[in-house]
């Protein structure tokens, strides 16, 4: 949960999450709203591919069944923990990330995210720290700009967010960072999955 605290410190919105150790805890966390359950293990880098994600769960019985199912699927990736998250509405999936480069220092990356990231490789990279004009040109670089930044308002929101991520990368000892997907919806966003390598 340290990663989530770091995001909060820099004002980067992450979806509300908690580790749960029983079906009852998961039901309590849901508080009547739809949730997602994910098994988190260092041995499974791609949760979706490994069948470790249960989406859009509502109601006690559905949550309990999913919890049991997930525990079984995660057995071979021991040790693991189960993360409960509130369901984020559908939207555009983007990736923001960072890497410490041996030559040039911290790099920041932004592009089309989710499961298509490796297929389309539509990403833009800069050296940190970035300024507003750099953030703007990162957006301009993308083929998918018209999908990702539909209007001036969402472009501006993404630029602000990129500068926050750049600041976080610079001020912390982060070797690699993936915010993927970060879901853009209803004029706002939620970082749904994050990975930090220190």
* List 75, 101, 151, 186, residue binding other proteins (CB under 8 A): 101
Based on DSSP, count helices (H) and strands (E) in the chain, helices before strands.
7, 10
Q: Is 160 in the site for other proteins (CB under 8 A)?
A: no
Size of the site for other proteins (CB under 8 A): 30
- Name the strand (E) or helix (H) holding 25: helix 23-30
- 26 or 123: whose CB is closer to other proteins? 123
Helix (H, G, I), strand (E, B) or coil at 55: strand
Classify each residue of 79-105 as buried b or exposed e, where b means 16 or more C-beta atoms within 10 Å of its C-beta: ebebbbbbbbeebbbbbbbbbbeeeee
Sign of the torsion angle spanned by Cα atoms 41, 45, 47, 51? negative
Q: Is 97 in the site for other proteins (CB under 8 A)?
A: yes
Cα 70 from Cα 104, distance rounded (Å): 42
Structure tokens at 78: 């021991």
Q: Is 193 in the site for other proteins (CB under 8 A)?
A: no
* List 18, 87, 107, 155, residue binding other proteins (CB under 8 A): 107
Cα 92 from Cα 147, distance rounded (Å): 8
* List 39, 66, 88, 95, residue binding other proteins (CB under 8 A): 95
Residues 108-147 close enough to bind other proteins by CB under 8 A: 109, 111, 117-118, 121, 123, 125-127, 133-134, 137, 141
* List 94, 180, 183, 190, residue binding other proteins (CB under 8 A): 180
61 contacts: CB under 8 Å, gap ≥ 6: none
* List 45, 69, 186, 188, residue binding other proteins (CB under 8 A): 45
Q: Is 177 in the site for other proteins (CB under 8 A)?
A: yes
Residues 3-42 close enough to bind other proteins by CB under 8 A: none
Site residues (vs other proteins, CB under 8 A): 45, 95, 97-99, 101-105, 107, 109, 111, 117-118, 121, 123, 125-127, 133-134, 137, 141, 176-178, 180, 195, 197
């Amino acid at each position: 949960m340290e990663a989530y605290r770091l995001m909060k410190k820099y004002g980067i919105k992450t979806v509300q999450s908690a580790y749960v150790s029983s079906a009852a805890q998961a039901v309590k966390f849901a508080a009547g709203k739809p949730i997602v359950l994910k098994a988190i293990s260092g041995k499974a880098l791609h949760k979706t591919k490994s069948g470790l994600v249960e989406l859009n769960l509502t109601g006690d019985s559905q949550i309990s069944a999913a919890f049991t199912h997930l525990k079984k699927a995660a057995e071979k990736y021991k040790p693991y923990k189960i993360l409960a998250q509130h369901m984020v509405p559908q939207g555009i999936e983007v990736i923001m990330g960072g890497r410490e480069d041996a030559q040039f220092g911290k790099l920041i990356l932004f592009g089309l995210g989710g499961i298509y990231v490796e297929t389309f490789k539509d990403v833009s990279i800069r050296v940190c720290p970035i300024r507003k004009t750099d953030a703007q040109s990162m957006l301009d670089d993308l083929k998918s700009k018209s999908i990702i930044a539909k209007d001036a308002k969402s472009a501006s929101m993404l630029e602000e967010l990129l500068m926050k991520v750049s600041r976080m990368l610079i001020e912390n000892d982060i070797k690699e960072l993936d915010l993927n997907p970060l879901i853009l919806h209803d004029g706002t966003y939620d970082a749904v999955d994050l990975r930090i390598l220190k």
